């Protein structure tokens, strides 16, 4: 008796340890394998099957099949597909499909133990017999236990086959003790599976909301929608390279699966605040663009000046009549051509200024101001006014890009909105760093970034990674209406200068270059023409 008590206590301890292990497992396939492995171990079963309820709730679907003596392992993490058909829970007439023991246990919520399948008349074991015939196996004893969640909803069935007597190795019937152990394990397993499925569902729901936000940004501006997908991808490539490195300051950097998920979410949400940015600012392709490109208005004014100049010349020619003075008329004609040529030159100059550039030169900016002050035109109301308004002068004189200082402030505000949005959410513990990672991607290592002016030491590695990825994606992006996409060599040269200037983390840039992260990203996301041979064939040194 003491021996039996010790044996039972040992099995209960094993059951408790299994319960703890199940509660820690995050991967659903590994979780199912742990459940089946524990059930077979605790009941000495040679074979076992785990069924899960189909998505529509109409059938039991094989999730995992294993037979130790045959070396058979299908489903789960095995990589081997299960080719057995689903087991319908009900017949076409609506009655329970009670001939199948797994279905009977599921529908009636009861444990079923069969000592000898070949001598049993209550259930149809044709499937087991067909399996035995094809493999030489002999399916004899069965123990079938339903898995139900806290609401008593069916989530699956655990079926154990052929209990082995540890002393003799012979197949025996499952004992009452085995039934109790299996039912206790099934209860713990059901809780673990339900919790894992609930967590997975919540994660998928959360990810769907993230995708919804990015879709809204994409629909709002197709020029930045791809950015919200490419930056996370590049960030994860860089993070994996940093995790793998065993030299330099990043040698101690490592990530768990939870760390990876947290960084991925931060990457996907890093620009969520752009949903508040006006479209005409986000998509400003030219300096004079608002809801439309106002360069057309400037063109119209030039046409008015050309018309006025021609009318003035004709009036002067008429003033020479009735006398005929061919020389004077020719001189007036030449004067008109000089005026028209000057107007055409100024128009082409302003059209060129409107396109934006990396660096507009000071004398070009002054020429815009000179045109604005020297030219006058008569508006539709008949009033003589300045040729360019102060707003047009400001826009056409933008030194770099297409945004004015005020518009840059509007765009830059997206990171403030991002931080405000993310910090307002009740993040679970494993995602609590998302606001910091996402909110720091516009900071600089020298503290001159925005919105908080944080320095390198105040930023996590993950925030610095997002910042580097954000810059490289912007340099190489081919979907921006206001700039041309750079090649790999051009982008790396710009980033090297930014690193030397205190913008980018030098240690991360060293990993980015040394491990050729840029090339892996380029082969997946960039156009072939951007992969110039200098950057593809030879590693580019970070310093």
Please report, rounded to a whole number, the percentage of residues in the chain having pLDDT higher than 90.
Answer: 41
* Structure confidence by residue, pLDDT tens digits, 495-534: 999 999 999 999 999 999 999 999 999 999 998 888 886 6
Residue 174 has pLDDT above 90, yes or no: yes
Assigned token pair, 360: 């507009």
Q: What is the pLDDT of residue 543?
A: 46
Region for residue 152 given its phi and psi (left: phi exceeds 0; alpha: psi -120 to 50; beta: otherwise):
left
Q: Which residues pair with 376 in a beta bridge?
A: 386
More confident residue, 15 or 116: 116
Q: Are 518 and 487 in contact (CB under 8 A)?
A: no
Burial class for 287, CB neighbours closer than 10 Å (0-12, 13-18, 19+): buried
Q: What is the pLDDT of residue 161?
A: 96
The residues near 299 (Cβ < 8 Å, ≥ 6 apart) are 347, 351
Q: What is the pLDDT of residue 386?
A: 86
Residue 281 has pLDDT above 80, yes or no: no
Residue 289 has pLDDT above 80, yes or no: no
The arithmetic mean of pLDDT across residues 486-502, rounded, is 92
The arithmetic mean of pLDDT across residues 402-427, rounded, is 82
C-alpha count within 13 angstroms, C-beta hemisphere, residue 540: 22
Q: Which residues pair with 403 in a beta bridge?
A: none
Strand, coil or helix: what is 441?
A: coil
| Confidence grade of residue 1 (pLDDT, cut at 50, 70, 90) | very low
**How far is residue 150's CA from residue 339's CA, in Å, rounded to a whole number?**
87
Q: Which helix (H) or strand (E) holds 357?
A: none
**How far is residue 181's CA from residue 284's CA, in Å, rounded to a whole number?**
68
CATH number of 2-199: 3.30.450.40
**How far is residue 521's CA from residue 241's CA, in Å, rounded to a whole number?**
12
* Pairing of β 154-164 and β 45-53: antiparallel
Q: What is the pLDDT of residue 12?
A: 54
Q: Which residues of 399-410 are buried (b: 16+ CB within 10 A; e: fewer)?
A: eebbbbeebeeb
* Structure confidence by residue, pLDDT tens digits, 310-321: 888 888 777 777
Assigned token pair, 309: 């100049």
Q: Are 161 and 40 in contact (CB under 8 A)?
A: no
The arithmetic mean of pLDDT across residues 29-51, rounded, is 86
Tell me how far the alpha carbon of residue 119 is from its chain's centroid. Answer: 57
Positive or negative, the CA dihedral 524, 527, 532, 533 is positive
Assigned token pair, 500: 């030397």
Note the maximum CA span of the chain: 141
Residue 268 has pLDDT above 70, yes or no: yes
Q: What is the pLDDT of residue 222?
A: 61
Judged by average pLDDT, the poorest of 41-55, 96-110, 220-234, 336-350 is 220-234
Residue whose entry in the numeric block shows the structure tokens 């931060």: 266
CATH number of 221-276+421-537: 1.10.3210.10
The arithmetic mean of pLDDT across residues 370-379, rounded, is 86
DSSP per residue, 139-190: ---EEEEEEE-TT--EEEEEEEEEEE-TTT--EEPPPHHHHHHHHHHHHHHH
| Confidence grade of residue 20 (pLDDT, cut at 50, 70, 90) | low
Q: What is the pLDDT of residue 7?
A: 58
The arithmetic mean of pLDDT across residues 94-123, rounded, is 94
């Amino acid at each position: 008796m003491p021996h039996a008590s010790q044996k039972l206590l040992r099995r209960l301890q094993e059951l408790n340890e299994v319960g703890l292990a199940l509660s820690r497992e995050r991967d659903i396939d590994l979780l199912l394998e742990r459940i089946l492995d524990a059930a077979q171990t605790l009941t000495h079963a040679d074979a076992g099957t785990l069924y899960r309820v189909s998505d529509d709730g109409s059938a039991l679907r094989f999730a995992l099949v294993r037979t130790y003596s045959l070396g058979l392992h299908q489903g789960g993490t095995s990589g081997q597909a299960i080719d057995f058909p689903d087991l319908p829970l009900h017949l076409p007439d609506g009655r329970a499909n009670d001939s199948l023991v797994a279905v009977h246990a599921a529908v009636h919520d009861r444990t079923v133990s069969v000592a000898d399948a070949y001598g049993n008349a209550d259930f149809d074991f044709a499937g087991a017999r067909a399996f035995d015939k094809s493999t030489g196996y002999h399916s004899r004893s069965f123990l079938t236990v339903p898995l139900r969640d806290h609401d008593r909803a069916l989530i699956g069935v655990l079926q154990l086959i052929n209990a082995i007597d540890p002393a003799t190795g012979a197949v025996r019937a499952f004992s009452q003790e085995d039934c109790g152990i299996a039912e206790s394990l099934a209860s713990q397993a059901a809780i673990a599976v339900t919790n894992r499925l609930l967590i997975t569902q919540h994660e998928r729901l959360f990810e769907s909301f993230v995708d919804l936000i990015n879709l809204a940004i994409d629909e709002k501006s197709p020029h930045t929608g791809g950015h919200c997908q490419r930056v996370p991808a590049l960030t994860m490539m860089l993070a994996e390279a940093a995790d793998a490195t065993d030299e330099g300051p990043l040698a101690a950097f490592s990530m768990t699966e939870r760390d990876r998920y947290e960084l991925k979410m931060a990457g996907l949400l890093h620009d969520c605040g752009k949903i508040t940015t006006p479209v005409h600012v986000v998509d400003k392709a030219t300096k004079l663009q608002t809801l439309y490109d106002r360069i057309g208005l400037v063109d119209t004014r030039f046409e008015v000046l050309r018309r006025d100049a021609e009318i003035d010349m004709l009036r002067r020619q008429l003033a020479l009549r009735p006398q005929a003075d061919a020389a004077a008329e020719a001189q007036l004609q030449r004067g008109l051509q000089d005026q028209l040529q000057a107007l055409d030159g100024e128009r082409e100059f302003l059209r060129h200024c409107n396109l934006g550039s990396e660096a507009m030169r000071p004398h070009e900016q002054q020429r815009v101001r000179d045109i604005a002050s020297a030219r006058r035109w008569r508006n539709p109301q008949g009033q003589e006014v300045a040729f360019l308004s102060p707003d047009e002068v400001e826009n056409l004189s933008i030194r770099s890009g297409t945004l004015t200082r005020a518009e840059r402030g509007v765009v830059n505000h997206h990171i403030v909105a991002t931080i405000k949005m993310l910090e307002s959410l009740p993040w679970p513990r494993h995602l609590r760093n998302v606001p910091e990672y996402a909110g720091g991607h516009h900071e600089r290592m020298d503290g001159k970034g925005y919105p908080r002016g944080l320095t390198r030491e105040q930023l996590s590695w993950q925030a610095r990674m997002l910042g580097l990825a954000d810059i490289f994606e912007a340099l190489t992006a081919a979907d921006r209406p206001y700039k041309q996409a750079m090649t790999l060599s051009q982008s790396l040269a710009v980033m090297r200068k930014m690193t030397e200037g205190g913008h980018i983390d030098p240690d991360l840039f060293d990993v980015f270059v040394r491990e050729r992260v840029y090339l892996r990203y380029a082969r997946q996301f960039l156009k072939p023409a951007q992969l110039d041979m200098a950057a593809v064939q030879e590693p580019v040194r970070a310093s």
